[in-house]
Amino acid sequence: MKNRKLPILVAVFSLLTVNSVFAQQHKNVVENYLRSNLAIGKNAANTDFIISSEDPSESLKATVVKIQQTYNGIPVFGNSSTLLIRDNNVLNFTGDFSSRTAKLSGTSQAQDASKIFIKVVENLKLSDAQSYKQSLTKGEIKEPALVYYDNGSELVLSYEMEFYEQKSSNLWHIIADAKTGTIYSKDNLTLSCNFADGTFGRTHEHNHNSANIPDKTIGAPTTPFLVNNASYNVYPFPIEAPTFGNRSIVTNPWDLSASSLGWQNDNATEYNITRGNNVYAYTDENSTNAIGLSADGGNSHIFDFPLNTANGLDSYKDASITNLFYVNNRVHDVLYKFGFTETSKNFQAYNFGKGGGQNDYVLAEARDGAGVADLSLNYYNNANFSTPSDGTRPRMQMYIWLGAQPYFSYNAPSGLAGTSIPSVGLGYFGPPLWKKSVTGDVAISPILDACTALPTGSLTGKIGIAQRGNCNFIVKVKNLEDAGAIAGIIYNSPNAETNPGEAISNMSGDGTTPINIPSVFLPQSRGEAITNLINGSQNVNVTLSIPVKDGSLDNGIISHEYGHGLSTRLTGTSVSCLSSSADKEQMGEGWSDFLALMLTMKSTDNASVPRGIGTFASGEPTTGVGIRPAKYSPDPAINGFTYGDTNGMEYTNANGALVPDVHSIGFVWATILWDLHWKYVEKYGFNNDITADPNSGSARVFQAVVDGLKLQGCYPTFIMGRDAIIAADQASTGGSNKCTIWNVFAKRGVGVNANAGSKTNINDQVEDFTVPAECALATNEVTSVKGFSIYPNPAKNEVFLNFKNTILGKVNVEIYDASGKLVSQQQIDPSSKEAVNTQKLANGVYVVKASGIGLNYSSKLIINK
């Protein structure tokens, strides 16, 4: 690694001076806006605020200004607002101010922050509270900050705190009473995507805090710098996963407008490993949250490593880390082009003096827990992303995905070769079978229950088999290992510990005895069948294995996880505004799926090609449904989900709490966004590379979605998300896509009269399929209802009716105005292409009804003269 300083284009001092001028201008604009809009602040205790961020947006042609309400100079938690300001005018406002006041307005009643922090740690029942205190003292944990918490009747002086749990993947965001330590709000900011058990983080045991990487002091560079070449052997986008295509070497794949240092440099150090300004990728196979192995490309930065899954996980570790590094960097660069930059709180070690907090590059952990045999800890079939506040490092944890059984298959004798035992137990100690399978001849333990030491060398090179007895499983397997066995088979025995012989279970260890061979557990009948064969002088050869897929090779899931960081940082306060406890309708999983879909589109894709998510990880073919309730498709016959289906999307989690099913809720939101993409494509054209042509429908819709995230405010609902995208389109295009957006959302039940109900209730949403009158028909569209169409539409003095099928006789045409009044009636002969006269109709929206023999159609008509 080389220590080097790099140049920036604009002096930091000059940039800060300019920013301070704009900040004052924006403060004045906000103050004037709040004074003139009494509906916003009329019930507020006050309209004092601070500007928390300013994000100049090229696409919106304006600045996204986020403000935080304050009371007596202290922030009021949860009361933030977002304004879009252009030329000192507010184009859009989202947010609210609290109407409550505080009984104790001063800070004298607040206890020392460290004391309250320790009380919170104790209230959460976290072990080793003293170590947390030490981390706080060392600056490894962010200092708790005073806030006011609105409890529904008053503002309560509190501390806001955020910290990684030292023995878990959890990232806690806590609001606690500043005097008593009572916890008012508790959110886990780790979004866990195991695609079955909701969003809540795991509670397994870890040993270290992944945040304990010293911050670097990265200043302005002093010498010129040329970005060195680098190459990576990866699954390049748009390949979604290994089942979708092959690896290839990509050279210098970065976008210099987003990563001007390349991917191997953070302005302080040039790295030869998978670390740079945007991400640090490494393994965490023991799930300790400690920095593990990184792939090393040498001085030439050539990250080309072998990958053959048949040789076991350990054989392609470097290839896995390299792919994880590539995807994180590539997603960073793509999102940067669409406005996820330093001022919008993206993830970078060094921000080039452009604003925002730095030292918050992504910690990307490959194969988290892959070296731990204990499946009860759930270090598999999962992925997660933790998004702390700006300036604090986020963490991505990628896991292995285990396939279905069999774990036990026969190779000999010939009569059993190719068959398997359908259900076996596993030893939760020793090396896991998914790391490397074991094949060998089976030999019976010289002492059948293996509860005492066996003759040295008696099982050398064999898979030892022993009967369950009255000693612990770990004792048996240890004795088999000491006798030279390469793996162990324990089979049940009748009445052993009151268990029936055919029962199977997983085998737990004692946490201290080192075991270096894998083991499995069989029912009595299966074990005795093997021993009978051996006693009958037949050779029994078996393979013990667990099919495994490496999540760090799944570009779709990696992109999905990164999407959580995007949606969290862009929404509201950039920390806890997508809390599923405060907002059960939040759509975080939906934005993540949409990002994954958009980055993995093939050039041959079109609206008629349905898309699954996570088919590689779930062991399905590329055409499978994957890990969602249905494929993504605008075709209601394939995906008929609407907003109303979100009602009741909840389940009881492992702790017995009823929680929202955020993956299913997000799926409905992503369904709408995917529909919207293809409507934009109809209008502007398709490009599977959204960075290639900013004028394509694919790029335009993605930009609108990202901009909508910036504008929607805290705790968004489907209604708020829809309105934010419409507001973004209004700011960037003058509303040219307004009706396209409305029609897509209305088709899925998020129409004009849709209602989100209470944010804390996932059972009161009301869907609606109507659109604004002005959007009944989009400009220049031919409206078709079943076999009937009207053209031109909008029209001036005449229109024509076209029928798909042959019509017998005359057709009666009636035209009604918006109030339902009949304003025109005429009979036409369809065979003569006779026009319907509209000369006397004023500009507006009408309903045309056509009736005759075997037909009864109606559709909307716009008159615009």
* pLDDT tens profile 735-780: 999 999 999 999 999 999 999 999 999 999 999 988 888 886 443 3
The candidate with the shortest Cα–Cα distance to 412, out of 301, 541, 294, 292, is 541
Which region among 9-18, 99-108, 284-293, 295-304 has the lowest average model confidence (pLDDT)? Answer: 9-18
* pLDDT tens profile 157-192: 999 999 999 878 899 999 999 999 999 999 999 987
Q: Which residues are 49's β-sheet partners? A: 69
- Out of 3.10.170.10, 3.30.390.30, 3.40.50.300, 1.10.3720.10, which CATH number does the structure's domain 231-404 have? 3.10.170.10
What is the CB neighbour count within 10 angstroms for residue 519?
32
- Under a CB-based contact definition with an 8 Å cutoff, are residues 313 and 548 in contact? yes
- Under a CB-based contact definition with an 8 Å cutoff, are residues 834 and 850 in contact? no
pLDDT band (50, 70, 90) for residue 202: very low
455 pLDDT higher than 70: yes
The whole-angstrom separation of Cα 76 and Cα 420 is 62
Domain 10-95 belongs to what topology? Nuclear Transport Factor 2; Chain: A, (3.10.450)
Q: Does residue 635 sit in helix, strand or coil?
A: coil
Q: Does residue 438 sit in helix, strand or coil?
A: strand
Q: Does residue 325 sit in helix, strand or coil?
A: helix
Question: Mean pLDDT across the stretch 259-265?
Answer: 97
What residue ranges in 722-793 does DSSP mark as E strands?
783-785, 788-791
* pLDDT tens profile 649-683: 999 988 899 999 999 999 999 999 999 999 999 99
10-95 with 113-188: one CATH topology? Answer: yes
pLDDT band (50, 70, 90) for residue 225: low
528: Cα within 13 Å, side-chain hemisphere: 8
Residue owning tokens 């898309």:
611
Q: What pLDDT score does 812 carry? A: 86
- Out of 2.10.10.90, 2.60.40.3080, 3.40.50.12780, 2.60.40.10, which CATH number does the structure's domain 788-863 have? 2.60.40.3080
Max intra-chain CA distance, the chain? 106
Q: What pLDDT score does 213 carry? A: 62
| b/e 401-430 (16+ beta carbons within 10 angstroms → b) | bbbeebbbbbbeeeebeeeebeebbbbbbb
Task: Give 21: exposed, middle or buried? Use CB within 10 Å, 0-12, 13-18, 19+.
Answer: exposed
DSSP annotation of 84: E
Give 140-143 contacts, CB < 8 A, sequence gap 24+: 140/209, 140/211, 140/212, 141/117, 141/211, 142/388, 142/389, 142/392, 143/113
pLDDT band (50, 70, 90) for residue 849: confident
pTM for the model stands at 0.85
Residue owning tokens 């922050």:
113
Q: What's the distance, CA 329 to chain centroid?
A: 16
The token pair that represents 83 in the structure block:
């304004």
- Under a CB-based contact definition with an 8 Å cutoff, are residues 404 and 547 in contact? yes
Q: Does residue 68 sit in helix, strand or coil?
A: strand
* Most confident by average pLDDT, 71-75, 214-218, 859-863: 71-75
248 pLDDT higher than 90: yes
Q: Does residue 465 sit in helix, strand or coil?
A: strand
- DSSP class per residue in 676-700: HHHHHHHHH---SSTTT-TTSHHHH
* pLDDT tens profile 812-839: 898 987 766 788 989 888 877 888 999 9
The whole-angstrom separation of Cα 152 and Cα 220 is 47
The token pair that represents 725 in the structure block:
């995208």
Total residue length of the chain: 865
Q: What's the distance, CA 442 to chain centroid?
A: 46
- Percent of the chain past pLDDT 90, that is, above it, reads 67
The whole-angstrom separation of Cα 567 and Cα 583 is 14
3-state DSSP of 338-389: CCCCHHHCCCCCCCCCCCCCCCCCEEEEECCCCCCCCHHHCCECCEEEECCC
Q: What pLDDT score does 20 carry? A: 56
636 Cβ partners below 8 Å, 6+ apart? none
Q: What pLDDT score does 310 carry? A: 87
Domain 579-778 belongs to what topology? Neutral Protease; domain 2 (1.10.390)
Question: What is the Cα gyration radius of the chain?
Answer: 31
pLDDT band (50, 70, 90) for residue 806: confident
- Under a CB-based contact definition with an 8 Å cutoff, are residues 327 and 558 in contact? yes
44 pLDDT higher than 80: no
Residue owning tokens 């992109």:
559
CA distances from 518 to 88, 288, 403, 550 (A): 68, 21, 18, 20
Q: Which residue has the higher pLDDT, 796 or 701?
A: 701
CATH number of 423-546: 3.50.30.30
Q: Which residues are 161's β-sheet partners? A: 174
Which region among 98-107, 378-387, 588-597, 784-793 has the lowest average model confidence (pLDDT)? Answer: 98-107
With left for phi above 0 and alpha for psi between -120 and 50, is residue 345 left, alpha or beta?
left
DSSP annotation of 2: E
The whole-angstrom separation of Cα 486 and Cα 241 is 34
Q: What pLDDT score does 201 carry? A: 31
* Domain spans in the chain, listed from the N-terminal domain onward: 10-95, 113-188, 231-404, 423-546, 579-778, 788-863
Please provide the average confidence, as pLDDT, over all residues in the chain. Answer: 88
DSSP annotation of 750: B
DSSP annotation of 216: P
pLDDT band (50, 70, 90) for residue 119: very high
Question: Mean pLDDT across the stretch 119-123?
Answer: 93
Q: Which residues are 342's β-sheet partners? A: none
- DSSP class per residue in 238-253: T--SGGG---EEEES-
Backbone dihedral angles phi then psi of residue 463, each to the nearest 5 degrees: -95, 110
Give the full edge-to-edge strand order of the sheet including 231-234: 248-251, 231-234, 302-303
The whole-angstrom separation of Cα 360 and Cα 143 is 17
The whole-angstrom separation of Cα 365 and Cα 333 is 20
Q: What pLDDT score does 7 carry? A: 33
CATH number of 113-188: 3.10.450
The whole-angstrom separation of Cα 544 and Cα 410 is 9
